[in-house]
Structure formats: structure tokens, C-alpha cells
């Protein structure tokens, strides 16, 4: 498959170059497509790419430069202070004292004395990719970017079909391979680590963040969450005349209400569901009546796309396959309406579920520290989700390592999926290869999983912390993909729950205070007293889109079948197209069967979209 990626056609990207002449070849190529470029003190290119001018601030002190790029309210003076701290101490770690107090979501890039620091976020919303570039005259040098496809284009990396096979896994690719680039030689920094480049362009990965211990009581934790969440919203809305926001569940309601406290006009959108039990519109109307200052639009269910709508014609240029693809038109409808309304910023509540509802797997750690509280909550979850007692006890008693769990995943790729009543107390629900995956695809996925085993460590300390951070990595990547889809419309999609400060505030709260079978998201309920209207603040319902999935499958079956024709995955030998086509023709349950299609559709659409990228305009 031949790709035709044009860096000039992408609205936003950047490349970070080390302070050495060995990076000249990549620099020249990047500069030919860039709208902005910044230089090291030496005069060599440092930060090159395309970004909106208002998203970047650069502080300079002597030969030190500090750039903050993204959604933030960092001032020039604050960036200069950070640069001065680095210059004075002679250490790039001096940035931590400043950046760990800044609100928002951003990349932090610094250059000082020939050394470079490139940092994203603690989860996978702000990503850092890196690869080695070579030239006959200059040798090898490491360069970095916020987009994997941009980096692959600049260094001439080839598609890795084995890595694409792993993306077929149902329920997503497990850590530490989740979110890995699809090109040979292109790598991703793990969350909470920054990339350090020395004067010769050699790279090291350095941890700068670790999850806080869950020791803060509910009242103090709620006060802290209130502070950082409102600051996160204000950092984005300050100085704007108009912003738009999702207004659906409790999480997006909290963000919308926080925005309504500012000076910008807030326009809220609620998508009505086909399922008559979906009550988002009811609660949204109550919220708007109580606030009195928000312009509100309820989009009728019949005007909203169903799952699988348009999957055979999508042309979004994403740098990784995304399971969001199957719901792309449904998700993007509100964003498109917001852009048409004149908004350049759209706020969402994405990320709230992982942080605020958390995972019962935290009980693994709690059962040793507070056994009576843990056993009480175990009984509550078992009753709530109808988990068999034997399975609950087996998972709680299972103290095998994450590496052992991952080895079982690699071994059992073609085994039946976990039962619907499987408790959520293990490291994760084990993913499986779909029935249409070829033997070659299964072998490639198994080999990659087994290869990573010697160095595989969990994402967090224990089952619960690992599971929450891994989930945040996965869903924040979806949010990142929404941002890539929205960028051509001239609108930024912001998810304040994925800000580093917000994540820290939530994870610091004691487990039984934040995660409970007896109360719905108690932390956000307490944090939003006086912000969210009282009648809405204690809402304990959440809409379900199962109807949209099942109806969408029936209505858009022809689009799924169209993807089987001249299948790119089939050409690569990764799927049995006849088996896939037969599956698409079946009547499938949204709860237990049709979700198996999501990763495969994501990969097929991604491969096709990379063939449809517009040719580059004149430079």
C-alpha cells in the first residue's frame, strides 16, 4: 500500500530537533511544510511545524528556550521564569517546579546548552513520538514529534504489518503496547516520561511523574478537584467571547457549568438518544433553566448518526487507527454544529468515567489495608453487577504478576472471550483476536506480546491503579483522535478531565471515598456544590448507546460490507475477508458480538484514509 501523506495538509503538528547539524536533513524537509519555526540559541532549527499562534508561548533566558504548546494560560513571564530557572541551575529538571503548577493540557519543550527536553502528559492525550533519522553525511540522530505519521514521513519509516495485526485485538491492545506507532522504528514515550536529547542527538527516557498515594479524605479531595477543574476550564475559556460544550452526563455537566461561571457566552449541545430510557436531554434542560445564561440546543435523535454511519467514506487523517471510527459521525455531529455556530473551542466531559467512577479492581489493594471496608464494597459490586461469588473470590485471591497475566493473553489469543459476568477485578479483561483474523495475524500479535514480556511492568501500582491509568491512556487517545478530526474545522476539542493536575487531584483521594458501589461518582458530586444546580448534581443515571449500535448495524450493514471489497487488511494477509463478510451479514448483539468489529473497522478505515490524503499544495 502506497501512502500519500502531505504534512502541508495537516492542520497541526510539530517536530523537535536536537541541537546538532546531524538533524539538518530532517529539518529541511520539515521546514518545507511548516508555518512556524523556532531556533536553538545556536541558530539551528529546534521546533518546527504547524500550530495556531495563540497556542504557543516561548520564554527565553540566555541560551535557554522553553516552549509551552497546547491548551493553557501560561504567560510569557511564566515561561521566561521557567527558562531562567533552567539557565540558573543548569538542569532541565528545574522545569518541574514551574510546569507542575500550570493548568491545562500542553506539550513542554525546552532547549538549553545543547540539551533538549520534550514532554507530553501523564496519559496519552499529549503524546511524544521519536525515531532515528539517518543521512550519509551526518549519521544517526533522534528526532521527536507529537504525531507518529509526521515522524514516519520525515524519516522514511515503513508500515509495520505485524504491529497492525495487534490492533485487531478486541477490547484494545494491552499495555505496554497500546498506542504504539504503526511504523518500523517509530516509538512512543510512555505517559509521565519525557524524552531527553543530548547535544549529539542521543535519546533517553526519563520519568517525571508518578501517581499520588490515595490518602486524601473526600472533603479535602473534593475541594482540590473543584479548584483544579475550574482552573482547567478557565485556562481555556479566558479571553474568549463564545465557547461551546457538551451537556449530557454528570461529567460534561460539571464542565459546562464551570464554563458558565466565566465571561464567555456558553452554547451547550445535547444529543437525544433513540432509546427512550436515555434521560440526558431531561437533565440538560433542568441544568440550563437553573443556570439561566446558557444557550442550549437539543439535537433530535433522528438527526444524529448511528454507529457505523459512513464508515466506508471517512477521510480523517489520524496517526493511529481508532476504535472511535465506528462512531465518528455520531461523535463529530455536535462538534460540527459547534464549529458552525462560530466556536473555536468545544468542551467535553471525556475522561470523567475513568477518574470519577474508577474501577473495583482497586479492592485488590484495599483488602489488605482495610479488609472490612473492602469486603463490604466487594459484596456491593457483586450484587450490582451480578458477579458469581466464586469468580470474585478467585480474582481477589489471584496475586500473579502483570507479566504473568500478559503471558496468558499471548497464549490464549484465539480462546473464547471472557463471560459477560466476569468480575472486573483482574489486571484487565483479556483481549482476543477476532474470528476472521488469519493465522499469520494471530502469530504476529502473539510474537509482539511475547517479545515485550521481559520488560513488561504494569501501568500503575497494583491492579486498580494499573487498570485506571491504562483505561485513561486508551480513552484519552480517542479524545486525541477527536481533536485530529476536529482540527480541519478550526475548532479545538478540550477534555479538562485529562489535565495532569485534574488526574492528580482525583487519584490522590482515598479509594473508598472515590470509588463506591453505594454512591455514584461521590467525588464530583461533592466537588461541584454551588457549581452544578442541586437538582442535577446528585443525578445517578448514565445514558447507554446500545440502541444506536444495534440499529446502526442493521441500517449500515451495506457500508460494512463495502469495506470488505478490496480490503486493505485482506491484501496484507491479516484478515480472512470471506469470514469477515459473513460476520457482517449476521444479526449481532451490541453487548456481546458487534463490538468485535470495531478494531477491524478502525484498521481498515485507517489504511484507506492514508491513501486518500490530498496531494501537497505548492510550498
294 grid coordinates:
446558557
What tens digit of pLDDT does each residue of 142-167 get?
A: 999 999 999 999 999 999 999 999 99
Cell numbers standing for residue 180? 504504539
Same domain, 291 and 440: no
Q: Does residue 76 share a domain with residue 161?
A: yes
Is 309 in the same domain as 443?
Answer: no
**How does the average pLDDT of the chain come out, rounded?**
92
**Do 170 and 235 have their domain in common?**
no
Question: Is there a domain that residue 362 lies in?
Answer: no
Residue-wise pLDDT tens digits, 233-291 = 999 999 999 999 999 999 999 999 999 999 999 999 999 887 666 688 899 999 999 99
Tell whether 376 is covered by a domain. Answer: no
Last residue of a domain, one of 207, 237, 256: 207
The CATH number of the domain holding residue 200 is 3.60.20.10
Residues 162 and 293 in one domain: no
Euclidean distance between CA atoms 538 and 535, whole angstroms = 7
Lowest mean pLDDT among 28-32, 205-209, 418-422, 436-440: 418-422
pLDDT at res. 618 = 35
- The CATH number given to whatever domain includes residue 283 is 3.40.50.620
561 within a domain of the structure (yes/no): yes
**Mean pLDDT of all residues in 513-537:** 94
Half-sphere exposure of 412 toward its Cβ, with a 13 Å CA cutoff?
14
CA-based end-to-end distance of the chain: 26
Provide the 8-state DSSP code for 342. Answer: T
Distance CA 129, CA 147 (A): 7
| 578 domain residue, yes or no | yes
Lowest mean pLDDT among 133-137, 365-369, 555-559, 574-578: 133-137
- Degrees (nearest 5) of the Cα angle 98, 104, 106? 80
500 and 527 in a common domain: yes
Longest CA–CA span in the chain (Å) reads 69
Signed CA dihedral, 501, 14, 481, 269: sign only:
positive
Which grid coordinates are listed for 547? 440502541
Q: Are residues 445 and 477 in the same domain?
A: no
Cell of 246: 457538551
- pLDDT of 616 > 50? The answer is no
CA distances to 387, 420, 494, 502 from 105, rounded to whole Å, are 38, 36, 9, 10
If pLDDT is split at 50, 70 and 90, which confidence band does 12 have?
Answer: very high
Domain boundary among 207, 241, 271: 207
Question: Which are the contacts of 291, defined by CB distance < 8 A and separation ≥ 6?
Answer: 257, 260, 533
Same domain, 26 and 55: yes
Q: Are residues 67 and 171 in the same domain?
A: yes
Which pLDDT score is estimated for 205? 96
Residue 277, phi then psi, degrees to nearest 5: -80, -15
> Residues 468-494: pLDDT tens digits?
999 999 999 999 999 999 999 999 999
Identify whether 591 is part of a domain.
yes
Reading the block at residue 541, the C-alpha cell is: 443515571
* Average pLDDT estimate for 384-408: 94
What three-state secondary structure class fits 291? helix
pLDDT(169) > 50: yes
- Residue 570 within any structural domain of the chain: yes
Q: What is the pLDDT of residue 1?
A: 46
Determine if residue 308 is left, alpha or beta; phi over 0 gives left, psi from -120 to 50 gives alpha, anything else beta: left
Q: Cell numbers for 444, please give them.
A: 504476529
Chain position carrying cell 481555556: 236
Question: Sorting pLDDT into bands at 50, 70 and 90, what band is 617?
Answer: very low
Q: Percentage of the chain with pLDDT > 90?
A: 84
Distance of CA 587 to the CA centre of its chain: 31
Whether 369 is in a domain gets the answer no
- Asked if pLDDT for residue 619 goes beyond 50, the answer is no
Into how many domains does the chain fold? Answer: 4
| CA distances for 509 relative to 353, 369, 376, angstroms | 15, 15, 19
What does each C-alpha distance from 596 to 49, 259, 407, 580, 599 come to in angstroms? 37, 37, 22, 11, 7
Question: Measured between alpha carbons, how far is residue 177 from residues 145, 171, 453, 590 in Å?
Answer: 19, 13, 10, 27
pLDDT value of residue 255: 98
**Cell of residue 591, nine digits:** 453487548
In this structure, the answer to whether residues 45 and 187 fall within a common structural domain is: yes
Of 406, 429, 462, which residue constitutes the final position of a domain?
Answer: 462
Q: Which domain holds residue 122?
A: 7-207
Q: How far apart are CA 438 and CA 73, in angstroms?
A: 50
pLDDT of residue 368: 85
Which pLDDT score is estimated for 279?
83
In a domain, 374, yes or no: no
Q: 56 and 191 share a domain?
A: yes
Q: How far is CA 39 from CA 7, 42, 46, in A?
A: 20, 7, 5
- Quote the pLDDT of residue 136: 67
> Does residue 75 register a pLDDT over 90?
yes
Q: Quick check: 325 pLDDT over 50?
A: yes
CB 190 within 8 A of CB 205: yes
Residues 149 and 226 in one domain: no
Amino acid at each position: 500500500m502506497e501512502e500519500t501523506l502531505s504534512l502541508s495538509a495537516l492542520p497541526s503538528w510539530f517536530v523537535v530537533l536536537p541541537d546538532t547539524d546531524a538533524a539538518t536533513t530532517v529539518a529541511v524537509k520539515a521546514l518545507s511544510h511548516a508555518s512556524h519555526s523556532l531556533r536553538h540559541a545556536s541558530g539551528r532549527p529546534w521546533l518546527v511545524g504547524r500550530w495556531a499562534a495563540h497556542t504557543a508561548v516561548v520564554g527565553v533566558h540566555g541560551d535557554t528556550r522553553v516552549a509551552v504548546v497546547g491548551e493553557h494560560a501560561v504567560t510569557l513571564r511564566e515561561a521566561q521564569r521557567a527558562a531562567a530557572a533552567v539557565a540558573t541551575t543548569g538542569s532541565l529538571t528545574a522545569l518541574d517546579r514551574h510546569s507542575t503548577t500550570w493548568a491545562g493540557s500542553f506539550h513542554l519543550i525546552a532547549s538549553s546548552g545543547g540539551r533538549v527536553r520534550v514532554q507530553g502528559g501523564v496519559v496519552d492525550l499529549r503524546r511524544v513520538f521519536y525515531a532515528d533519522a539517518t543521512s550519509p553525511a551526518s549519521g544517526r540522530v533522534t528526532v521527536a514529534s507529537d504525531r507518529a505519521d509526521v515522524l514516519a514521513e520525515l524519516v522514511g519509516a515503513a508500515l509495520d504489518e505485524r504491529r497492525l495485526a495487534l490492533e485487531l485485538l478486541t477490547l484494545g491492545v494491552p499495555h505496554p503496547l497500546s498506542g504504539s506507532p504503526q511504523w518500523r522504528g517509530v516509538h512512543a514515550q510512555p505517559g509521565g516520561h519525557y524524552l531527553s536529547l543530548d547535544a549529539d542527538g542521543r535519546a533517553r527516557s526519563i520519568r517525571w511523574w508518578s501517581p499520588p498515594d490515595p490518602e486524601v479524605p473526600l472533603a479535602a479531595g473534593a475541594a482540590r478537584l473543584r479548584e483544579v477543574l475550574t482552573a482547567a476550564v478557565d485556562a481555556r475559556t479566558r479571553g474568549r467571547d463564545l465557547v461551546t460544550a457538551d451537556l449530557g452526563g454528570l461529567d460534561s455537566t460539571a464542565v459546562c457549568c464551570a464554563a458558565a461561571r466565566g465571561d464567555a457566552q456558553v452554547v451547550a449541545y445535547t444529543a437525544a438518544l433513540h432509546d427512550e430510557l436515555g434521560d440526558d436531554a431531561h437533565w440538560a434542560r433542568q441544568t440550563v433553566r437553573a443556570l439561566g445564561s446558557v444557550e442550549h440546543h437539543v439535537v433530535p435523535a433522528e438527526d444524529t448518526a448511528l454507529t457505523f454511519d459512513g464508515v466506508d467514506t471517512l477521510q480523517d487523517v489520524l496517526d493511529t487507527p481508532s476504535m472511535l471510527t465506528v462512531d465518528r459521525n455520531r461523535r463529530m455531529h455536535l462538534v460540527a454544529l459547534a464549529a458552525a455556530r462560530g466556536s473555536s473551542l468545544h468542551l467535553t466531559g471525556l475522561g470523567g468515567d475513568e477518574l470519577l467512577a474508577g474501577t473495583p479492581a482497586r479492592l485488590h489493594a484495599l483488602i489488605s489495608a482495610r479488609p472490612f471496608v473492602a469486603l463490604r464494597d466487594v459484596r456491593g459490586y457483586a450484587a450490582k453487577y451480578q458477579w458469581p461469588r466464586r469468580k470474585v473470590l478467585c480474582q481477589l485471591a489471584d496475586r500473579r504478576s502483570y507479566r504473568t497475566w500478559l503471558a496468558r493473553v499471548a497464549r490464549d489469543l484465539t480462546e473464547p472471550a471472557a463471560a459477560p459476568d466476569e468480575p472486573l477485578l483482574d489486571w484487565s479483561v483479556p483481549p482476543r483476536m477476532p474470528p476472521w483474523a488469519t493465522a499469520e495475524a494471530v502469530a504476529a500479535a502473539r510474537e509482539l506480546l511475547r517479545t515485550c514480556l521481559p520488560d513488561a511492568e504494569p501501568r500503575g501500582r497494583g491492579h486498580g491503579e494499573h487498570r485506571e491509568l491504562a483505561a485513561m491512556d486508551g480513552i484519552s487517545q480517542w479524545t486525541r483522535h477527536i481533536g485530529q478530526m476536529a482540527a480541519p474545522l478550526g475548532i479545538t476539542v478540550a477534555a479538562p478531565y485529562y489535565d495532569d493536575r485534574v488526574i492528580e487531584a482525583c487519584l490522590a483521594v482515598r479509594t473508598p471515598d472515590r470509588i463506591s458501589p453505594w454512591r455514584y461518582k461521590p467525588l464530583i458530586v461533592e466537588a461541584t456544590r454551588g457549581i452544578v444546580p442541586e437538582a442535577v448534581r446528585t443525578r445517578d443515571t448514565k445514558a447507554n448507546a446500545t440502541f444506536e449500535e444495534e440499529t446502526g448495524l442493521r441500517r449500515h450493514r451495506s457500508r460494512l460490507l463495502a469495506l470488505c471489497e478490496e480490503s486493505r487488511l485482506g491484501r496484507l494477509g491479516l484478515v480472512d475477508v470471506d469470514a469477515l463478510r459473513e460476520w457482517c451479514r449476521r444479526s449481532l448483539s451490541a453487548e456481546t458480538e458487534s463490538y468485535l468489529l470495531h478494531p477491524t473497522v478502525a484498521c481498515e478505515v485507517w489504511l484507506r484514509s492514508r491513501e486518500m490524503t490530498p496531494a501537497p499544495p505548492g510550498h
